Structure 1
């Protein structure tokens, strides 16, 4: 019988799932494992630190569907946990592999480096237990293959991180290779047929009875892979469709039925009216966090809402556990008589180019958020990958109209500043592997960039070519909008951003820097067809904005957050 090693079995399974690059940082408890990556057809990225590696793995997974991260025991894995927690929060499937001391050392409670010195080798895994869908320890060759397959399936299906501990003395232990001949079964468990029939019947009746139904798409529609079904439902039903900040890009924004981004009271007035006046809302993959819901200001009726989720369905006040949305959507597409669906003009599609009329009329050359974000939509092109940092960029991109096929990556729920730079590296690498013709564009504030800017070094090392737009607005503007406009703790040390690429080793002729201070500068640089827009080298744009300027949505949400933070128990 053909044999392999535990580590090769694991790595070949990663390869079968579509992973081609593994993020992480080497450490003495994972070095032998890393020796085997190339044999399994995997590329080692080698990040600047484990936190960056975790962010990068998250960005990679949002393009490829799943990713892998390798760290060493204790010091390495703990450095990555803030990133892994973000993936758990935002429903992103990351396989976190941790090289651990040998099973013998662990049984003996040896006083090893990278431990707490108390003989407890389970403490770090326990820290990950609440941010991992599954935690397995590959300390038994007889069950290793089964444990690996079970964990990887759970990672993919649950769309959340898993934790795999790989002791040093287990790495090269021999196991059967037979199971590798059969791909891991990634199919969802079927819904109970009788319950599902009842659900479909109830949903169908409600859709036929509605005079003004709409579709509201949220983040979990992306994470749980029902975007194709969503597009079919929009096209066949011709119902108006709206996105949320976390699902930006999930709906084709060139579709005439696309109505805009709904963020509760923070929404544009026309979007707010269209959603809140609907007599039926078909909500798909909702994740109603504060920043995603306009500070919990949804004004929609539970009675008039159908909620489709990855693990349950709600129709009005009735909940159907374990009735998953993918199957329900597929059944609806096959059973609905679309001629029976009523339509009104009360929910009109968003204009092809969103504009801020007041900003457009201004004669000022100052680059404001109200002018920039609607403006930049004219420059984006089909299939771009747009990454926005927690802060002004996340809120500003709401006002940008996307061309067809744009993928938006942001971290609205977890909101860890610095996330976007690592995520850009991971996303750009995934794009390079799958479709190098796609452009990758990062919008990040100068404050956030200081947390993880060294990951630009990895981008250069891996030959990636993103366009990095650093918004220079003198510090933490999102924090200023919440509290402390002029507080010193929201200030930062100014950096010479145009020296970054050179400092990190970019070769002459293989990079470019641009400084943008006026609206005319924006128009001259962000012009379709010019050399800059071809994105054939790594480029950094330093774009200057006023210190206390912010997107409309952030100004409103910031005040809401300050109020929520200050609430005292009644």
Structure 2
């Protein structure tokens, strides 16, 4: 390395230092000079997407597996095409950096009437649009301060689990800085510690509470996984033997083969045995809660106790007392440590509810057409340890609640933001992450990526299949062909034309996109055909990209979705 390097190279060296090996995005004239420097960083891959929205969704999926990701777009038209995906990442606590190639400093100073602007000679219009969906937003204006700004944005994103925005003027890409800056400015990714007195008080209050409680439980939600405290949650459950329930967004955040796992709580939509156990408890340890409508059965939680302890990424609550800036990662480590030292000998007082084992009914294959109920329960037997399962907003995200997950299965869905079409590119992004992790660590387990998406949702982002084929990413793409937007039909307008779609011939989609990639297209119409497919040794080997069309009745849907749809329609019309 010479005495000087370009700022463009510095940026990508730091992206690589943060653990990223694949960069998503679309080229545009304001970022082209910057893209030249990706190839200067060893083992850093430019994916190159067909559109910015898919690039954003793929970066989201990549980050959920890898822990951080990067997307690059161009000023105006590019960044706005990606902003829906970035907003979803913000809502769902997904860390990534959105780098926007911007006009040069000189062009801004002279207020040139450039393309991709609103014709007003302003260069901050789009920055303001991104501000609300960015954990931190910076535009480089000074070469000297640029390296520290880049580091700060990456650190902020990873530590807060939010997307950040970096405006990168086109004339800065080739600007030179001392090469020593790379080693002198290392990323600092260590969490700041909690104020010890606050943390100790909070933990002591919890210990006193659970010692006098008769039937405490643990409720695990999405942010336990997003903010990487699942190991601490597992330790807490093993020490206390408290029953553990997850929310829909929290599914895969706790080992479902564990003796402590009792099922999914969704308020009124829960199975009766789960609902009774959760709502009759006298103490709830709630970890990483994200209490959105679809995550809570339209806000139908009905606790009978006020003894609720909440663990969050940037604050914690003990009953009605809020501990500002107290982070759950430190608090949980402290709690587990103190409980181990106390050796309180907790006992498990309850048997797992029968609904925990509902999936076992799929051992017997019924005759006749494929049904949602059988499909989701039978999936329990197809999944393997370390699989990545991605589900679309709609029947898939509700149906998957009936599936039993083996150990270390990772679930990806977008229950809160709920942008239709998210899941296909997210699955492709997760495939890139799994590919990178295996490529650079031979000991890393091979991970299959398995997607379930509706025929309507597929039409929004189908070009993501092209990205997978380009780089030989091999997801299983299960397409639920139920003749349109079933979730919308269940909520409102079951026979209205606005819930219909133009039917596609799904069996020739891979013919269009695959080119030289190895692929297979299949159709499943009956329970027996699905059974045979899951039992096929060749099918279980993820050696090619597969599209499996599942033929389902138009109004066949998971029972929880049918109930949720009624609640949603009631709320929408209130």
Q: TM-score range by the shorter chain?
A: over 0.9
- 2:60 touches 2:89 (CA, 8 Å); kept in 1? yes
Distance 1:270 1:405, change over 3 A: same
TM-score by length of structure 2 reads: 0.95
Quote the Cα distance in structure 1 between the aligned partners of 2:45 and 2:60.
17
Say which SS state the counterpart of residue 22 (structure 1) adopts.
strand
1:341 Cα shift? Answer: 5.5
Quote the Cα distance in structure 2 between the aligned partners of 1:362 and 1:441.
22
Spell out, residue by residue over 1:239-295, the C-alpha distance to the aligned partner (whole angstroms, 9 max, x if none).
111111111111011111111111111111111112111111100000000001110
Q: Give the match for residue 24 of structure 2.
A: 23
Is residue 459 of structure 2 the alignment partner of residue 450 of structure 1? yes
- 1:254 touches 1:352 (CA, 8 Å); kept in 2? no
Distance 1:252 1:506, change over 3 A: farther
Q: Give the match for residue 563 of structure 1.
A: 570
State the 4+ residue runs in structure 1 displaced beyond 6 angstroms: 359-362
Spell out, residue by residue over 1:112-131, the C-alpha distance to the aligned partner (whole angstroms, 9 max, x if none).
11111100100001100000
Distance 1:506 1:231, change over 3 A: farther
- 2:281 touches 2:304 (CA, 8 Å); kept in 1? no
Is residue 89 of structure 2 the alignment partner of residue 82 of structure 1? no
1:353 Cα shift? Answer: 4.4
The correspondence of residues 64-463 of structure 1 with structure 2, limited to 5 A, is 64-181=66-183, 182-301=185-304, 303-337=306-340, 339-340=343-344, 342-346=346-350, 348=352, 353-355=357-359, 364-435=367-438, 437-463=446-472
Is residue 492 of structure 2 the alignment partner of residue 483 of structure 1? yes
Quote the Cα distance in structure 2 between the aligned partners of 1:150 and 1:62.
21
1:366 Cα shift? Answer: 2.0
- 1:356 touches 1:371 (CA, 8 Å); kept in 2? no
What runs of 5+ residues in structure 2 fail to find an aligned partner?
439-444
- 1:213 touches 1:279 (CA, 8 Å); kept in 2? yes
What runs of 5+ residues in structure 1 fail to find an aligned partner?
none
Of stretches 137-146 and 388-397 in structure 1, the one that deviates more from structure 2 is: 137-146
1:28 Cα shift? Answer: 0.5
TM-score by length of structure 1 reads: 0.96
Say which SS state the counterpart of residue 234 (structure 1) adopts.
helix
Quote the Cα distance in structure 2 between the aligned partners of 1:353 and 1:561.
28
Q: Give the match for residue 543 of structure 1.
A: 550
Q: Give the match for residue 532 of structure 2.
A: 524
How many residues end up aligned between the 2 structures? 564
Quote the Cα distance in structure 1 between the aligned partners of 2:531 and 2:139.
55
Is residue 60 of structure 2 the alignment partner of residue 58 of structure 1? yes
- 1:360 touches 1:371 (CA, 8 Å); kept in 2? no
1:344 Cα shift? Answer: 4.7
Quote the Cα distance in structure 2 between the aligned partners of 1:493 and 1:398.
29
- 1:55 touches 1:423 (CA, 8 Å); kept in 2? yes
RMSD, aligned CA: 1.7
Of stretches 346-355 and 535-544 in structure 1, the one that deviates more from structure 2 is: 346-355
- 1:468 touches 1:540 (CA, 8 Å); kept in 2? yes
Quote the Cα distance in structure 1 between the aligned partners of 2:229 and 2:194.
16
Quote the Cα distance in structure 1 between the aligned partners of 2:70 and 2:516.
29
